[in-house]
Every structure is written in C-alpha cells, then in structure tokens.
Amino acid sequence: MDSIELMVHEHTYIKRMLEVVRKACLKVLFQDEMDFEDFAKMIEFIRKYADAHHHGKEEKLLFNRMVSEIGGAAEKLVNNGMLVEHDMGRYYIQELEQALEKVKNGDNDAKLDVIANAMGYANLLHRHIDKEDKVVYTFAKRTFKPETMKEIDMQCEEFEKETEKKGIQTKYILLLEELENKYL
C-alpha cells in the first residue's frame, strides 16, 4: 500500500464534503433553511473521517516520522504548519457546533456564526489539502529513506485494516454520498 497515494485519495472525499458544507451554508443564507440533523452528519464526517481517520494517520504515522527523522524544515512544516492547521480546523468545528446549538435555542443571529465557522473550516481545509498534496507529501516521499517509507506504508496498511473492521471507511463514504444526493 502506498500510504501517500491513499492519503491523497482520501482528500478527494474530504473535498467533496467541503462542497456539501458550502451548499448547506448557501441554503441557510438564501433560503433561511437549516437542517440540524444534516449539519450533525457533516460534523460527524469531519470528526470521524477527516480528523480521526485521515488526520490520525498523518499525525501518528507520517508527521511524527518527518519531525524525528528529517528534522529542520520538516519540523517547522509539521509543527508550525500542518498541526496548527489541524487544531484550527478542530476549533472551527467546535465553534460551528456551539453556533448550531445557539440557533436551536432561538438565537437567529447565530446563523451568521454557523456560516462563518463552516466556511472558515472549508476554506482552511482546501488550502491545507493543497499544501499537503503539493508540498508536504512530496517532500516526505523525496526525503525519507526507502525503508522508512516502506515502514510507514506497512503501518498505514495495518491502520486501514483495523478501521475497515469497524466499517469506518464504508460508513463515512456512504454518509458523504447521502449528503451529496441532498445538497449537490
């Protein structure tokens, strides 16, 4: 298994969800229509698939090895860039969830916060994915020793097998398709 190729492929699912998030925000903006259940599904996908599954692999298998084995530029790229952006994404989702709760409790002004945080997350992730695909992953592949890359690939394969047993990939791709059918 080529772990980098897999992570790039997972980005396609995440970007598709970002488009769903955008369309849901447009519905709130132009039709004053907010489906709380759908937003909960989007947040679940983001937390369980994009963050726990995808970012989990990056943080546990790739980024820590970049810092420990490459150092220097890799350390700055990972610690001051990628990990900061992962945390910023988590912050946007936390704020989105709080804004949704405010709207549920009758605070119509919080609809603006729903849109702002959802789109802040989407914009952040688009830029983040672009950096990973074009800079971080290619830097790792180019810089790691072949045996390091092979070890990461094997660890990634094991990670994937474990999550497949739990049905993670299938569950969240089906959830994505359900939301795409509604919003796109």
Helix pair 110-131, 3-31: axis angle to 10 deg = 160
CATH (residue range 3-183): 1.20.120.520
Helix pair 146-165, 3-31: axis angle to 10 deg = 50
- At 83 the pLDDT is 98
**Mean pLDDT of the region 105-119:** 98
The number of C-alpha atoms within 13 Å of 179 and in the hemisphere containing its C-beta is 28
Phi, then psi, of 108 in degrees rounded to 5: -65, -30
Residue the block writes with tokens 């290619």: 138
**Mean pLDDT of the region 1-10:** 97
- At 3 the pLDDT is 97
**Contacts of 131 by beta carbon, 8 Å cutoff, 6+ apart:** 81, 82
The domain locations on the chain are: 3-183
Percentage of the chain modeled with pLDDT above 90: 100
pTM: 0.97
CA distances in angstroms from 26 to 22, 77, 94, 109, 123, listed in the order given: 6, 34, 20, 16, 15
42 confidence band (pLDDT: 50, 70, 90) = very high
**Mean pLDDT of the region 176-180:** 98
Phi, then psi, of 154 in degrees rounded to 5: -65, -40
Per-residue pLDDT tens digits for 52-82: 999 999 999 999 999 999 999 999 999 999 9
Distance CA 116, CA 110 (A): 10
**Contacts of 115 by beta carbon, 8 Å cutoff, 6+ apart:** 25, 28, 29
- At 65 the pLDDT is 96
106 confidence band (pLDDT: 50, 70, 90) = very high
CB contact at 8 A, 83 and 59: yes
